[in-house]
Amino acid sequence: MSKGIIRHDFEPKIMGFVCKWCTYSGADLAGTSRMDYSPHVRMVRLPCSGRIDPQFVIKAFEQGADGVIISGCHPGDCHYNEGNYYARRRNLAFRNLMEFNGIDTKRLEFSWISAAEAIKFTQIIDKFTNQVRELGPNEGYRVLLDPYASRLVKSSEESAA
Amino acid sequence: MRTATLQKSDLDRVIDLLSQADYRVIAPQNQPRLEGPDSIDVATFQEVQPGDSHNIGEGLSTTGIKPFLFPKDEPLFAYENRGKKVVLTEVSLDFPKTVILGVRPCDVASVSSLDAVFSDKNAGFNDELFTKRLEKTTFVSYSCTEPDVSCFCTSVGLAPDSDKGSDLHMTELPDGTLHVEVKTEAGEKIAAVIDSLLSGEGDAVARQQAGVVAAEKITRLRDSASLLPWLQDLNNFGDEMWQRLGEKCLGCGACTFECPTCHCFDIVDENSGNKGYRVKFWDSCQFDHFTLHASGHNTRNSQFERYRNRFNCKFKIYEDVFGEKGCVGCGRCIRGCPVNLDITEYMAEVAQKATTSAS
Amino acid sequence: MAKIGVFVCQCGNNISRTVDTADVAKDASEQSGVVFVEDYKFMCSAPGQEAFKKAIRDHDLDGCIVSACSPKMHEATFRNAAEAAGLNPFKVEIANIREQCSWVHNDKEIGTAKSKDLTHMMIQRVKYNRPLERYRMSMTKRALILGGGIAGIQAALDLANAGTPVTIVEKEPSLGGNMARLSETFPTLDCSQCILTPKMVEVQNHPLITIRAFAELEKLDGYIGNFKATIRQKAKSVIDKDCTGCGDCWEKCPFTVESEFDMNLIKRKVIYIPFPQAVPTVPVIDRANCPKFIKDKCGICADVCGPDCIDFTQEDEILEEEFGAVIVATGFELMPNVYKEYGGSSMPQHLIPKKMNKKQRAAQPRSTSGRLPDVINGLEFERLASASGPTGGEIRRPSDGKKPKTVVFIACVGSRDANKGVEYCSKICCMYTAKHTMLYNHSVHDGKAYVFYMDIRAGGKGYEEFINRAQDEGAEYIRGRVSALRKKGDKILVKGADTLQGCAVDIEADMVVLATAMVPQADAIDFAKTLGISYDKHGFYSEQHPKLMPVDSSTGGIYLAGACQGVKDVPETVAQASAAASKVMQLFSKEELMREPEVAIVDKDHCMNCWDCVTVCPYLAISPEEVKDRDGNVVKMVANVNPGLCQGCGLCNTVCRSKSIELQGYTDQQVYAQITAFEGAFV
Amino acid sequence: MIEQIREKARELLESGELDVVIGYAEGSDPSRTTPIFCRKPEDTDKLVLDGRCVNTLPAYLNKRHEYPKKGWKKTGIIGKGCDIRAITQLVAENQLKRDEVYIFGAECEGVVAHPEKWDGSLHEGNCASKCSSCDVKIPLDTDFYPGEKPEVDRSGPYLVTAPALATLVKMDDEDRFAFWRDDFDRCFKCYACREVCPHCSCNICITDRTMPSWVDQAAHTKGVFGWHLTRAMHLVGRCTGCGECTRACPVNIQVDLFNQKMKEVIQESFDYKSGYSMEVKPPLITYNTDDTENYIR
């Protein structure tokens, strides 16, 4: 079952914002079924894809993420009935905004993954990881990450209370 | 000290020579702009390399030279939490040797206003981030020959050709040549570097004349003598004028951030996980949170009070504390204001009120 | 400075196999605010939890991270432990390093790095977890049971006998469901109706049980403890409080249509009760077929009715009732015969596009349509074999009523066939086919029963013995599939294969019985959406945990019983029904309901009443509230959240531009902390 | 035209029906006008209305600017078509009651893109690009309109007309990012774009929030990116396209291009034009079950 891990010279950093009812459970199922997928994603567990604020994504990019995954329940399956419909609209707008800002929308993944779709989950993760790996580092933001690095002198250790 | 003549066409050579002499050269530069009616020309001071375009002597730059002495944002130190320990990393205070070319008289005069705040000569505390930069900086100023409709330097004791705070002063003469006056040691050094381009003694008379001609062109009021006493009379603090003129202010910081002498800043920790920077960045007395107390009380609760504060800061508080005006009459706050709030209208109003009360 | 404890679980070697837990613990100990770390074999074990509590007490911890399995497994466990140790349960967070790390990555280096990262994120998050108190609210201690089959009946009786008022909603005119159709039941061959109907009567007579037959649930609002159900009582055209069930009306009624209960093998009247032992014994008029309603002719039933309780003008009634819990027991139906070569022509329910609405799906051809005569399915055979059935229990074939001398039973029709049918094994077919062969042999002594099967699955008490008995009694089992059925004279030529003999088998049969798969009700998925519970790809309702919470649906306060959750035989169904009932008793055993405090709260200083939150809230939990000054003048309006209605989806938090409303437990600050702790370290 | 408005305004101030009339007066130099609050009838003589009247006055009706609005029962306001769109949107968002304002509308010839460009007249060269495709030159919803108000068909789509937008969209992502990076380098976060906006109505802006600080407060490029993305996102489906944010920017960052782009998107995806109805819900706080999801896997 193991794919074995091949080290590449660039390994993308990917942040995930997922609904705990579907995708997060799907990921758990993938675990219980001992599936094997790319280890790059760090997921934040949220009650609903409707709780996913564009601010999260912006901040993730500002933190040096090379890609961001957003995922929720299939339309009609939302635990809160309509959260994912709002998420769908908001993210459509947000995507276009990011694109206009010059961020490659290939770095921004949105998918519906139900709690039963462990296989789809692993496929999406793998596919997206490769996609981002091919895109390479998020250069645009990488240069902005640490605005003051050049201003520092070498660190002087001193402990504080 | 020495005076001489410089061909305006040689300004590019000046940049070359100074760069060769390891100066970081700063000069006003037009910013690239999008096509279409909505964009306007913006000139800012930028680091220039030999061959780069510049617009020395063409109007007043949109923003001044403040960012090169007091940047819009800079780190105080970096920190990192490691277990029970906090590791601090200082920022470097060793700044490059810099010359700023083509500074307008108002901007170069503004340096002393900033210095009054940041150096220890009055405040008793020495902000090295400012003073160490200042030590390394030489100002080559350039008289105005075409002051625009918003200029009012003559109302604050300056003039289109004044050389207050300048190290080396240039004045453009009608014949297109530049009259160069060395003002300080630092100026001498610059003169030495560009010596090959300098000739003769220049033309002191023509320079004087050019100054007068330029001053003539300034349309906004000139007398501000009555300001201080009127402002110092606390009865006038509640004058209806403040509200009438100030109520249209929308409370953005454009005037303060474009102002060469405004110096207020805020400090926050920009945290990410276990580490971050303590950052100092421009703040504005026009923002409603500027005077908001933790209690929820706001000492300047409405916008006209905030602008009243700004006006008082320039013409009263500065005079009281530092014995000079906090305004250099560059007019940027007038050009930049979205609602055309005009500081000279305040001045005019005050002057008029002062005279009426006097008589 | 925070005082955080980090507990890294090895989970035997489940985690430690691919994660260096010691290293993770060491790394965590270097994080700011962490004052205690532990690397332990089984955190969830009793000693593990003891160690957890001890650490909280000894080090006076104000936040805990358990790096272990999914929060779905043990978040509650550790939060309760923390509470016991005097730490607010909501100051405990789980870092999921098993399901989402150790089990899915085989590279120890990588697994360890990822675990560290996940732990860091939680350490940062927990610093901003606020201590939260659970809300207490009242509940309606009445249960709603959807479906009046054996599952619903059992659950209703268990609950009512425990003193809980129950309402059963059944869409058919009578209780009974599919079990009422069965003749005998395996493995004991006792008569189905003989064991079912007494229970039905018990239900009818129980003072705490309300039966709403011929009714359907339209809408379900509210939340656990406080549901509001909108029930449509379809017009029976009979005033049931007056009806004595004498039967005059249906005896005199001159019009007949095919009887759904008898699988369309026989006619029933237009005013009818589905079967003689129906409960309630109140007939209904089938308005679609009644001439009184079509062309305003007839009306005999009204004339003959003694108590004069026929009411043609009766209208559907919409009832709104409140319940504290819901048990879903909507049962199953048989998959239509999907095999053209078996004369099947209709489309399996689960292949019908989801988009279809109830009506369209109902309009799909059912198993009866377009097929060879005398090729019938299991339930139809049950009716033929049933003493109360169309043939009075004698096995006669539908086409000409002859006694079939040769009957071929085909197992696994539609089951275990991902291409044409469903992937899953329908589980009960092996058993009921064996039962059918016996019933057949008992009825037609000189008859011959053949069974084509793939495997025999007889896992169950007395099941294997039952299969053997069937074979002893003369049923011939042929291991192999049937490739085609052809009409040959008045017989059916069955072309099959015997894979044990390795030869083709042709049998001329008088009747063929297909053991077709069990599938969910046609409208199962729409109904799930009405209820707001989740379901699998077949339309079976999903339990909250496949092993440990098999009767809880994904939604609090809604429980599952019987075949709507997955294929089951009668004993299993009854067991699950009782389990569901006991779950409801458990819920109702408390004085008041504890609500999780993860709900939205408003920053009233900064709310600028744009009402975006009010607009988006799916539960109408947010409403405008007046803010008054000392003199009682309204200063402004702000949003206000009803914690009873709020379900904690966080939509309001997202749409609020000034972030003046936030979801406790998932506040912006917590998420922010997680994001900023993100390093994404690969190795 | 302006004469009739002056007359009406004077009349309503005299009758006390209005407490104040917000309009435009001559500015401190000939190329500019400035907002004026006419409280006394005679103030109305100062009112002007021409191509120099760039300000979006409804910004003063916005709750956040409690002063000067404080204490006014009924406010008169002179509105260009685009300003009145803003009022409509403010009402739709419950920031204002329609009967709190009395709208003087007049046909608008368009306005100058920036006072700097005013050379005594309005023409191709200096007219703001927002005006070229304007469908509310005859304003939508007015209480007073000089003369007969002709019916206009406004069913047409919102047209994005800033020539810069086309060029930007053509660029590939890297270039576009680089473009904004260089432009944002000038931004010092004076928040003029925020303060002049009639729809930035939060009484605490998300960038002034520090727990957490989603938007870095310092004006380094990262922080500036954060700010302008956030601002644009918060205005999706709400911006009524007055273009003041760009006009007011002292360093000429054309931030309204974001809003224009989003208006286009919202229009295509959800068929919504902000500022045309007080009833229709803004697109991001409603949904259709069959919304487009071609970008979702």
Q: Are residues B64 and D251 in contact, defined by beta-carbon separation less than 8 angstroms? A: no
Per-residue pLDDT at C682? 60
Q: Is A45 on the interface with C (CB under 8 A)?
A: yes
pLDDT in tens, C157-179: 999 999 999 999 999 999 999 99
pLDDT tens column, C442-490:
999 999 999 999 999 999 999 999 999 999 999 999 999 999 898 888 8
- Look at residue D297 and tell me if it is in a domain: no
The pLDDT-based confidence of D152 (bands split at 50, 70, 90) is confident
pLDDT at residue C351 in the model? 43
The percentage of chain D sitting over the pLDDT mark of 70, rounded to a whole number, equals 97
**pLDDT-above-90 percentage for chain D:** 70
Taking CB atoms and an 8 Å limit, are A92 and D179 in contact across chains? Answer: no
Domains C336-519 and C599-663 share a fold: no
Which chain A residues are closer than 8 Å to B78 by Cβ?
A: 148, 152, 155
Which of A154, A156, A159 shows the shortest C-beta gap to B85? A159
* C346-360, C441-455, D29-43, D224-238: segment of lowest average pLDDT: C346-360
Kindly state whether A139 is in contact with chain B, defined as any CB-CB distance less than 8 angstroms. Answer: no
- One-letter amino acid at C472 equals D
Contact C124 B82 (CB under 8 A): no
**Contact between chains at C658 and D203 (C-beta distance less than 8 A):** yes
Closest Cβ opposite residue D67 in set B32, B63, B247: B247
What is the total count of domains within chain D?
2
pLDDT the model gives residue C44? 93
Choose the weakest-confidence range: B328-342, C17-31, C255-269.
C255-269
Residue-wise pLDDT for D26-49, tens only, equals 999 899 999 999 999 999 999 999
Task: Indicate if the pLDDT at residue C530 is higher than 60.
Answer: yes
Q: Closest-CA residue in chain A for D230?
A: A55
- Fold (CATH) for C137-234+316-331+521-593: FAD/NAD(P)-binding domain (3.50.50)
Chain D positions touching B41 (Cβ under 8 A) are: 252
Q: Which of B77, B93, B128, B279 to mutate to test the interface with A (most CBs of A within 10 A)?
A: B77
DSSP codes joined into one string, B42-90? -EEEEE--TT----TTSS--SS-SGGGTS-SEEEEEEEEEETTEEEEEE
C297: tokens are 């002719």
| Predicted local distance difference test score (pLDDT) of residue D192 | 95
Structure tokens at C55: 């650490």
Q: Which chains touch C (3 or more CB pairs under 8 A)?
A: A, B, D
Domain carrying residue D220: 163-285
Whether D204 and C672 lie within 8 Å, measured CB to CB: no
pLDDT at D68: 57
Q: Which one of D132, D150, D175 terminates a domain?
A: D132
Q: What is the pLDDT of residue C400?
A: 86
Label residue C358 by pLDDT band (50, 70, 90).
low
Searching chain A, which residue's CA lies closest to the CA of residue C615? A86
Tell me which chain A residues have a C-beta less than 8 angstroms from the C-beta of C680: 12-15, 40, 42, 64-65
Residue D293 scores a pLDDT above 50: yes
Say if residue B297's pLDDT is above 80: yes
Cα distances (Å, whole numbers) of residue A69 to A99, C99, C675: 16, 19, 13
By CB atoms closer than 10 A (0-12, 13-18, 19+), residue B137 is: buried
Question: Count of A–D CB contacts within 8 Å?
Answer: 121
pLDDT score, position C55 = 96
pLDDT of the residue at C53: 96
pLDDT in tens, C46-64: 999 999 999 999 999 999 9
From the list C555, C545, C529, C163, the residue with the least C-alpha distance to C326 is C555
What is residue B187's predicted lDDT score, i.e. its pLDDT? 95
User: Does residue D188 lie within any of the structural domains?
Assistant: yes
The mean of the pLDDT values for chain B is 92
Output the pLDDT for position C367: 38
> Model pTM?
0.78
Tell me the C-alpha to C-alpha distance, in Å, between residue A7 and each of B219, C35, C439.
71, 35, 66
**Binary contact (C31, B274; C-beta < 8 A):** yes
- Whether the Cβ atoms of residue D134 and residue D108 lie closer than 8 Å to each other: yes
In order of C29, C150, C388, C451, the CA distances from C193 in angstroms are 67, 11, 9, 26
pLDDT at C404: 94
Say yes or no: A135 contacts chain D, CB-CB below 8 A: no
Smallest Cβ–Cβ distance between A100 and the set D175, D206, D261 belongs to D261
pLDDT digits (tens, 9 = 90+) for C610-669: 999 999 988 778 989 999 989 998 888 999 998 877 889 999 999 999 999 999 999 999
pLDDT over threshold 50, residue A45: yes
Q: What interface predicted TM-score (ipTM) does this complex get? A: 0.93
Checking if the pLDDT of A37 tops 60, the result is: yes
- Determine the residue type at B319: E
CA distance D20 to B134: 51
Q: What is the DSSP letter of C51?
A: H
Give chain D's end-to-end CA distance (angstroms, integer): 57
The answer as to whether D158 is a domain residue is no
Q: Map out the domains of chain B as residue ranges.
A: 3-358
Name the percent of chain B lying above pLDDT 70.
Answer: 99
Q: To the nearest whole percent, how much of chain A has pLDDT over 90?
A: 73
Strands C634-641 and C184-185, how do they pair? unpaired
* C382 in Cβ contact with C181 (< 8 Å): yes
Per-residue confidence (pLDDT) for residue C680, from 0 to 100: 66
Whether D155 maps to a domain, the answer reads no
For A125, what's the count of Cα atoms within 13 Å in the CB-facing half-sphere?
Answer: 29
pLDDT for res C359: 54
Question: Is D173's CB within 8 Å of A94's CB?
Answer: no
> pLDDT of B13-42, one tens digit each?
999 999 999 999 999 999 888 888 888 889
Q: Say which CATH topology domain C4-134 has.
A: Rossmann fold (3.40.50)
Predicted confidence (pLDDT) per residue in D75-84, tens digit: 999 999 999 9
**A14-151 has CATH 3.40.50 classification:** yes
Asked if the Cβ–Cβ distance from D220 to B344 is below 8 Å, we say: no
Mean pLDDT, chain C, whole residue set: 90
pLDDT at position C553 is 86
Helix axes C668-676, A54-62, angle to 10 degrees: 20
Average pLDDT of span C522-542: 88
> Whole-angstrom Cα distance, residue C458 to residue C441?
21
The DSSP secondary-structure symbol of D127 reads B
Q: Is D177 on the interface with A (CB under 8 A)?
A: yes
Contact state of B78 with A148 under an 8 Å Cβ cutoff: yes
Peptide bond into B338 cis (omega under 30): no
Are B75 and A152 in contact (CB < 8 Å)?
Answer: yes
Topology of domain C336-519, per CATH?
FAD/NAD(P)-binding domain (3.50.50)
Report the topology of domain C599-663: Alpha-Beta Plaits (3.30.70)
Q: Which of A19, A90, A96 to mutate to test the interface with D (most CBs of D within 10 A)?
A: A96
- Chain B environment of C126 (Cβ under 8 Å): none
Q: Say yes or no: D258 contacts chain A, CB-CB below 8 A.
A: yes
B236 has pLDDT over 80: yes
Residue B346 pLDDT exceeds 80:
yes
The count of C-alpha atoms lying within 13 angstroms of the C-alpha of C474, restricted to the half-sphere facing its C-beta, is 16
D234: exposed, middle or buried (C-beta count within 10 Å: 0-12, 13-18, 19+)?
buried
Contacts of A63 in chain B (CB under 8 A): 272
CB-nearest partner of A97 from D169, D181, D229: D229
Q: Return the higher-pLDDT residue of D65 and A83.
A: A83
Check if the beta carbon of residue B320 is closer than 8 Å to that of residue B330. Answer: no
pLDDT tens, residue by residue, C226-285: 899 999 999 999 998 899 989 999 999 999 998 889 888 888 999 999 999 999 999 999
Query: Scanning every residue of chain A, which has its alpha carbon at the shortest distance from the alpha carbon of C15?
Result: A31
Mean pLDDT across D86-114: 91
B78 vs A152: CB contact, 8 Å cut-off? yes
pLDDT at D69: 59
Domain end (from D111, D132, D153)? D132
pLDDT of the residue at D67: 54
* B22-26, C398-402, C650-654, D101-105: range with lowest mean pLDDT: C398-402
